[in-house]
Structure 1
Amino acid sequence: MLIDAYQRRFTYLRLSVTESCNFRCTYCLPDGTDCDSRAGELTLPEIRRLVTAFARLGTRKVRITGGEPSLRKDLTEIIATCKAVPGIEKVALTTNGYRLQRDAAAWQAAGLDAVNVSVDSLDAATFHLVTGQDKLADILAGVATAKAVGIKQVKINTVLLKQHNALALPDFLSFVKQQDLSLRFIELMRTNDNLSFYQRQHLSGASIQQQLETQGWQLLPKGISDGPALEYAHPHYQGRIGLIMPYSKDFCADCNRLRVSSKGQLYLCLFTDSYQDLRSLLQSEHSAPLERFLQQALAGKAQSHQLQQQHSGSTRHLAQIGG
């Protein structure tokens, strides 16, 4: 099993398949992608070998991320490859939704169980301002399509931005009132290229949490392979509200996820100073050497990130390893 020195069990792999993205979100890639080449991205056989090794060590959930993963022409095959690995129970995808309406049915048929879609505002003009794309209506249509074709779990990701959506909680609550989906507010995180933006835009999720609890929302229990969100439900709402608050006390105490980049680099934390290159170990069908490497590497995982100490590690931006 993958268990670290603090007795945390790792059952969740976040696998980036590309650093490229076609959006220009203000909090991530305001100047567009800095990925100068798509060369060197993990191939399908390498992905299968990687996921197989993780599954043999107890990983049960794989989330495919980017950049924007739908820029990979073989994304449907990547989904099917991950789902076919013995031991993998859940395959999820995080996307900006650009191709969701077109491809949701194919992804579901390939085995996709869950999809998270980035929607930082329900106001079209604000959405355009934040993302650089005037596509809100298309993306919300894609969310509806994902539900209609039978993807089991559909979630909305909303990055909290003080100047853009700090006062929009009533709009988001209205959105989930009649929709069976989860909308998660994510605190803006500092990376190496966004300090001034972070200082202007950071909004604590604690203010949202207090409003929810005052209005009767109840915290739900977490599953073993769930991510870091605290998810709330209300008897008068079909949908749920989640909060991801990386600056909160003990945020890392129940960490259960590891990250691998689109170039085959293992990151023990989103905000680590270093990574381990797995590429050479992905050239063989024999997974034992990779399994041993992963177990040994995990011994070096720190107890917590150091965001509270203003240390963001070597992460350039969230598209680098999928957030």
Structure 2
Amino acid sequence: MTLQDSHGRRFSYLRLSVTDVCNFRCNYCLPDGYECSDDTASLTVEEITHLARAFAAQGTRKIRITGGEPSLRRDLPQIIQAVANTPGIEQVAITTNGYKLTKHLPAWHAAGLTQLNVSIDSLDPRQFKAITGHDRLQELLDGIALAQTLGFKNIKVNAVLLRDYNLAEFDHFLDWIKTTPITLRFIELMQTGDNQDYFAANHVSGESIKQRLEANGWQPVLRRAHAGPAQEFCHPEYEGRIGLIMPYSKDFCSTCNRLRISSLGKLHLCLFGEHGYDLRPLMTVDKEAELELALQELLQKKTATHFLHDGETGAIQHFAMIGG
């Protein structure tokens, strides 16, 4: 069976948040740091196990573990192992800010992690600290080197495009991937409920970056199975690739293949939806069939597109809420 909405889109990719807590203070997400708004405990390993089984039974093949910052969960290796051991799941990915990456990565790898995404918004240590509130750039670069040693393939580095902070570094980023075999993904800044002024000052059109790449010989790459929304580009003179995530581009939602579960067990049909649907009561050993049916039924409520172009950001106040 497959999860399919009323618009004919199939969903084989789940983004699973395991906590909304984050220890970084990125100025585009949590400039004042994390503030707890709900003291309800996050999903347990047992609940995540039932959830992964239900999604896998409906055709999900890739699960990405997100936060907040997922490494703040002490039982993260057990979560990774539970997901990796789920029949039908082929890829287990994580998106992390890289906190203590060199310490954690061997255990994640041993538990079954297959793909690593690390957020690095600047290659200048001072600018990196200005954006994130932490002086940890070298630690992240060391973590990526360790990932390569451990045999991780298709390592991805995420950088949010910011006019006042890292746009001037674009050529520096390109120089880096000339000899570094990773996929560098530039993410177009998105408007949320609390960043209107910051968005107006820092938003950079992903389309302008795409035109710049194409003018310099970069060629589009075919999307892999279960891939996310990035448009990827390669160049014969570069070891690395470029990915562009452009939510304001035309037809961005037409290829949507991913759903989201919050750390409290709510299904979000869209990052910018108005609310989530509580599935936590169904994440038990005797209700997996009900959970699968609920997924099928709720998916029919998914709209054809988000409404970011109209300035409607839904219920999301910041991206740590459900992992971006």
**Which interval holds the TM-score relative to the shorter structure?**
over 0.9
2:119 maps to 118
Deviation, 1:164, is 0.8
Matches within 5 A, 1:177-216: 177-216=178-217
Distance, in Å, in 2 between the alignment partners of 1:175 and 1:221 is 23
1:236 maps to 237
Q: Is the 8 A contact 1:281 1:289 kept in 2?
A: yes
2:60 maps to 59
Matches within 5 A, 1:46-125: 46-125=47-126
Q: Classify the secondary structure of the residue corresponding to 1:97.
A: coil
Deviation, 1:180, is 1.1
Q: Classify the secondary structure of the residue corresponding to 1:19.
A: coil
**Which string of whole-angstrom CA distances, capped at 9 and with x for unpartnered residues, describes residues 75-94 of structure 1?**
11111110000000000000
Distance, in Å, in 2 between the alignment partners of 1:99 and 1:316 is 27
Distance, in Å, in 1 between the alignment partners of 2:168 and 2:302 is 38
Deviation, 1:39, is 4.1
Distance, in Å, in 1 between the alignment partners of 2:36 and 2:20 is 6
Which residue identity does 1:123 align to in structure 2? D
Which residue identity does 2:9 align to in structure 1? R
Which residue identity does 1:9 align to in structure 2? R
Deviation, 1:152, is 2.3
Distance, in Å, in 2 between the alignment partners of 1:240 and 1:233 is 5
Q: Compare 257-266 and 102-111 and name the one that shifted more.
A: 102-111
1:281 maps to 282
Distance, in Å, in 1 between the alignment partners of 2:35 and 2:307 is 26
Which residue identity does 1:159 align to in structure 2? V
Distance, in Å, in 2 between the alignment partners of 1:24 and 1:147 is 28
Q: Classify the secondary structure of the residue corresponding to 1:252.
A: helix
Which residue identity does 1:175 align to in structure 2? W
Q: Classify the secondary structure of the residue corresponding to 2:180.
A: coil
2:15 maps to 14
Q: Is the 8 A contact 2:115 2:153 kept in 1?
A: yes
2:129 maps to 128
Deviation, 1:274, is 1.4
**1:224 is aligned to 2:248:** no
Deviation, 1:139, is 1.1
2:309 maps to 308
Q: Classify the secondary structure of the residue corresponding to 2:252.
A: coil
Which residue identity does 1:120 align to in structure 2? D
1:259 maps to 260
2:27 maps to 26
Q: Is the 8 A contact 2:9 2:257 kept in 1?
A: yes
Q: Compare 282-291 and 61-70 and name the one that shifted more.
A: 282-291
Q: Is the 8 A contact 2:40 2:264 kept in 1?
A: no
Unaligned runs of 5+ in 1: none
Q: Is the 8 A contact 2:15 2:63 kept in 1?
A: yes
Unaligned runs of 5+ in 2: none
Distance, in Å, in 2 between the alignment partners of 1:273 and 1:59 is 24
Q: Classify the secondary structure of the residue corresponding to 1:159.
A: strand
Equivalenced residues, count: 323
Q: Is the 8 A contact 1:20 1:38 kept in 2?
A: no
Distance, in Å, in 1 between the alignment partners of 2:187 and 2:237 is 23
Root-mean-square deviation over aligned CA pairs: 1.0
**Which string of whole-angstrom CA distances, capped at 9 and with x for unpartnered residues, describes residues 54-107 of structure 1?**
000000000000000000001111111100000000000000001211111111
**1:43 is aligned to 2:38:** no
Q: Is the 8 A contact 1:18 1:38 kept in 2?
A: no
Distance, in Å, in 1 between the alignment partners of 2:164 and 2:38 is 34
Q: Compare 195-204 and 145-154 and name the one that shifted more.
A: 145-154
Which residue identity does 2:164 align to in structure 1? Q
Q: Is the 8 A contact 1:108 1:150 kept in 2?
A: no
Deviation, 1:14, is 0.1
Deviation, 1:275, is 1.1
Distance, in Å, in 2 between the alignment partners of 1:59 and 1:283 is 19
Provide TM-score, normalisation by structure 1.
0.98
Provide TM-score, normalisation by structure 2.
0.98
Distance, in Å, in 1 between the alignment partners of 2:119 and 2:39 is 23
**1:4 is aligned to 2:2:** no
Distance, in Å, in 1 between the alignment partners of 2:171 and 2:198 is 25
**Which string of whole-angstrom CA distances, capped at 9 and with x for unpartnered residues, describes residues 158-192 of structure 1?**
00000011121110111111111100000000010
Deviation, 1:223, is 1.8
Distance, in Å, in 1 between the alignment partners of 2:260 and 2:38 is 21
